Amino acid sequence: MKIENQTKKYKSNTHIVYSCYYHVIFTPKYRRKVLIGDVENRVKDLFFEISSKYQFEITDIEVMPEHVHMVISCDPSFGIVKCIHKLKGSSSNTLRKEFPHLMKMPTLWTRSSFISSVGSVTLEVVKKYIEDQKGK
C-alpha cells in the first residue's frame, strides 16, 4: 500500500536536521498466517495511530498473511528500534483483545525484526563526497 508519491524530506527537531528512512520487516510468532481479513485492516489502522502518537511516519506499508513490510521515517534521537517496539507492543495488546483467536499464540509478534536503512544515494557516493571535502 503506497501512502503517497513522496520524495526524500528533511525534518528537524531542536538540535538535529535529519532524513532517516528504514525498510522494516517483522513477523507474527511462528510466522503464522494470521494477518488476514479484519486483522490485516486493523493492523494497518493501529500502526498509523501508533506512528502518529509517537511522531514517526510510515511512508509505505504492506501487510502479508505472515509478515509486515514498512518504510518508516523517524527522528534518530527516538530511534528505529523504539518505533518497532511501540508498533509491536501496542498493536499486540489491542489486537489480542479485539481478536480472541490470537490469544492462542504465546505472543503475537516475534522478538526479531529486519531493519535496513534506505537512502537516495549509494554508500560509495557518500564515501566519495567525504573524501573530496579536504580539497575544497
92: CATH: 3.30.70.1290
How would residue 115 be classed by pLDDT, with cut points 50, 70 and 90? very high
Give alpha helix (H) positions in the chain: 37-53, 80-98, 123-132
In a domain, residue 1? The reply is no
The per-residue pLDDT for range 36-55, each reduced to its tens digit, is 999 999 999 999 999 999 99
CB 68, CB 25: distance < 8 Å: yes
- Does the pLDDT value for residue 3 go beyond 50? no
Query: Residue 61 is part of which domain span?
Result: 15-132
User: What's the mean pLDDT in 98-102?
Assistant: 97
Which residue is listed with cell 526524500? 8
Instruction: Kindly report the pTM of this predicted structure.
Output: 0.85
CB 38, CB 102: distance < 8 Å: no
In a domain, residue 42? The reply is yes
The number of folded domains in the chain is: 1
Average pLDDT, the chain: 91
In a domain, residue 73? The reply is yes
User: What's the mean pLDDT in 83-88?
Assistant: 98
* Angstrom distance (rounded) from CA 84 to CA 113: 8
